[in-house]
Amino acid sequence: MADPSTKRPQSGYGWLGLALLTVLVMQLWFAQHATVTLDYSDFKVLLGSGLIANVEITEDTVEGTLTIPADPSQLPDAVKEQLQRAQHEKTVEFSTVRVDDPTLYQNLTAAKVHFGGARESKWLVMLLSWLAPAVIFAAVWFFFIGKLGARGAGDLIGVGKSKAKLFVQKNVGVRFSDVEGIDEAKAELMEVVQFLRDPNRYTKLGGHIPKGILIVGAPGTGKTLLAKAVAGEANVPFLLISGSEFVEMFVGVGAARVRDLFHQASELAPCIIFIDELDALGRARGVNGFSSHEEREQTLNQLLVEMDGFETNRGVIIMAATNRPEILDPALLRPGRFDRHVAIDRPDIRGREKILRLHAKRLVLGADVDLAMVAGKTPGTAGADLANIVNEAALHAAREGKSAVAMSDFDAAIDRAIAGLEKRGRVMNPKEKETVAYHEAGHALIAELRATTDKVSRVSIIPRGIGALGFTQQLPTEDRYLMKRGELLDRLDVLLGGRVAEELVFGEVSTGASNDLQRATDLVRHMVTQYGMTETLGPAVFETRTHGSYLNDAGLPVAREFSEETARQIDSQIQQLLLQAEARVRDTLAANRSALNALAQLLLTHETVEREALTKILHETQRSRPVPTTAERAAIA
């Protein structure tokens, strides 16, 4: 399929370049025919040497022809430098400033030089050197103004043209077989493929395909890849453009690009228009109170108009992707525009395994690699994260000089993706290292001794990332979508395990638990204000936050809608739950002090402890005292 862009008006850059080239040639021509400038003293020396052929005397200058001798050494140095470009010529024009010299005419007569006088007139030279280039530029400019007409002068340099990238069938290169882990979204978009392949199947019954399809999901879940797969399956052109590419500093450019994009689509039908990061263009209008005349809003209005006037039965499907659907203008989401929404969530454990197998096809895998286990160790990751983990595993194996990617390489890639890069070169004093060891040992023991928490797979005191001095990795047994009160209390205990272990062993706490305390406080606040998990305040919601549905941000709290007395009760309940959790953790660690010491000493020796060593320590040192069940702890709380 030929690129239709060849049928479009050519850019003004070529004509402007031609005009500049013409001016340059003219300037070079004048430079090549320029005269040699002589000092009057050099002129008198050359005149005495018989090298002046003829002279024309004006009011201000003396001009004429200079004969170049066979041996230029007799010429003055200043003249020889100027004559380098005319080394193959026999004569050259010269010019010098006329001075009050009464002997000039006598010298000219004695040298038998023909001389004459003339009035100075340089209008022809001025016309050719300055007016001619100006006329050329004016002609080019008015030519394009007349040719563009109503399209506007902005198109002269291409600012009003769409920047959409065109992918035809041979170079889309993506099929549904290249997309894994989002089977429901693939099935829903298959209807679009069938319409593009056989539109009569729908139009003969009077129906029509949805005009716009909005794909929403977290970053890295495969929104753009899925849209390309639709175009690849349907074998139609694919116009890809980002929402931010419509808006420029020039007023009206964005609207012009929208019109140009839909004009391209009309010529290419059937095809797919895909607008990535739609929220950059389609943000709700009038939010900040000063945006009624913004260039972005004019662009959005033009997009709304174009979508209203577009007939879906012409075979043009408009698709868009965003991870911020809550900030889009309602006019974009109404029926008749983006009237079908396809949500893509992060894949579950089976979807992650499929994605890992898809990306691992190009790798040489060792016999011990279990991609199902790798999928279990990566909860909450998106497709892009998993692709990065597979690539990091291959790079790690290459650095180690291995012939195949082993399971240990995948473990190293997961640790790097989750906790950050190892910093073995960071020097820690023995006291700090011991504090970190007991801190991580406290997290690990509480995670192992609570009934509903994810079990520990690895404990390390190797510094990673920017500020992490160690980490405890837990391996989920399954994906969870709901959490009960007792399970949240168990997670709260794990978060406080490191701080309580420091206090129990050293009699004081360090700053290393700041992130744990932040997460613990957020968890308890959600239990009190959003989940209704306290008997004192009852089943009520006291705080909501405005945040993106598909972004991991905390959002901004909205205006408080409860009394000061309720606020005091909320603070009291948060403090009570935290103190109760701290007491529970202190009792558990005190009852298992020998296991805590053993695990900390093992970390100080080896820096990293795997699950097998951890379970061995618990088996050898755990006392017979039973650990309270989740129901008992919930009743106490």
Amino acid identity for residue 189 in this structure: L
Residue of 180, 297, 440, 502 marked catalytic: 440
DSSP3 helix / strand / coil % (the chain, rounded to 5): 55, 15, 35
Q: Is the peptide bond before 270 cis (omega within 30 degrees of 0)?
A: yes
Token pair 């530029």: residue: 137
Planar angle of CA 317, 323, 325, nearest 5 degrees: 75
Highest mean pLDDT among 281-285, 363-367, 422-426: 363-367
Q: From 69, 74, 82, 67, select the one nearest 113 (Cα to Cα).
A: 67
Percent of the chain with pLDDT over 90: 22
pLDDT of 45 higher than 70: yes
Segment among 161-165, 413-417, 589-593 with least mean pLDDT: 161-165
**Hey, is 578 helix, strand or coil?**
helix
The average confidence (pLDDT) of the chain is 79
Segment among 139-143, 299-303, 359-363 with least mean pLDDT: 139-143
pTM above 0.75, yes or no: no
Per DSSP bridges, beta strands 608-610 and 165-167 are unpaired
Q: From 207, 168, 233, 189, select the one nearest 313 (Cα to Cα).
A: 207
Read off the DSSP letter of residue 286.
T
What domains, with CATH codes, occur in the chain? 4-25+127-157 (no CATH), 34-120 (3.30.720.210), 165-344 (3.40.50.300), 349-419 (1.10.8.60), 430-636 (1.20.58.760)
Confidence at 446, pLDDT banded by 50, 70, 90: very high
**Hey, is 9 helix, strand or coil?**
coil
Yes or no: say if 491 and 474 are a contact pair by the CB < 8 Å rule.
no
Given phi > 0 = left and psi -120 to 50 = alpha, else beta, which region is 249? alpha
Confidence at 418, pLDDT banded by 50, 70, 90: confident
pLDDT of 540 higher than 90: no
Of residues 480 and 530, more confidently modeled? 530
Query: Phi and psi dihedrals of 65, rounded to 5?
Result: -115, 130
Confidence at 624, pLDDT banded by 50, 70, 90: very low
pLDDT in tens, 306-315: 887 666 556 7
Q: From 264, 272, 275, 269, select the one nearest 193 (Cα to Cα).
A: 272
Confidence at 596, pLDDT banded by 50, 70, 90: very high
180 carries an active-site annotation: no
CA distances from 86 to 71, 91, 93, 156, 242 (A): 14, 9, 11, 42, 58
pLDDT of 583 higher than 90: yes
User: Which residues are CB-neighbours of 510 under 8 A, at least 6 positions away?
Assistant: 435, 439, 502
pLDDT in tens, 366-406: 999 999 989 988 888 888 999 999 999 999 999 999 999 99
pLDDT of 319 higher than 70: yes
What residue ranges in 75-124 does DSSP mark as E strands? 91-97, 114-117
pLDDT at 365: 92
Average pLDDT rounded to a whole number, residues 523-542: 89
**H-assigned helices in 507-563:** 514-529
Burial of 33: CB neighbours in 10 Å, binned 0-12, 13-18, 19+: exposed
pLDDT of 184 higher than 80: yes
Segment among 460-474, 493-507, 585-599 with least mean pLDDT: 460-474
What are 455's two structure tokens? 């079990």
pLDDT in tens, 230-280: 888 888 888 888 887 777 655 667 788 888 888 888 888 888 888 988 888
What residue ranges in 131-259 does DSSP mark as E strands? 165-167, 212-217, 238-242
pLDDT at 585: 95
Separation CA 54–CA 333 (nearest Å): 87
Yes or no: say if 99 and 59 are a contact pair by the CB < 8 Å rule.
no
CA distances from 574 to 3, 218, 536 (A): 64, 31, 12
Read off the DSSP letter of residue 127.
I
- The sign of the CA dihedral 587, 593, 598, 601 is positive
pLDDT in tens, 49-66: 787 888 888 877 888 887
Helix or strand (DSSP H, E) at 474: strand 471-475
pLDDT of 519 higher than 60: yes
- The sign of the CA dihedral 538, 543, 546, 552 is negative
pLDDT in tens, 95-145: 888 888 888 888 888 888 888 776 555 565 556 666 667 777 777 676 665
Given phi > 0 = left and psi -120 to 50 = alpha, else beta, which region is 421? beta
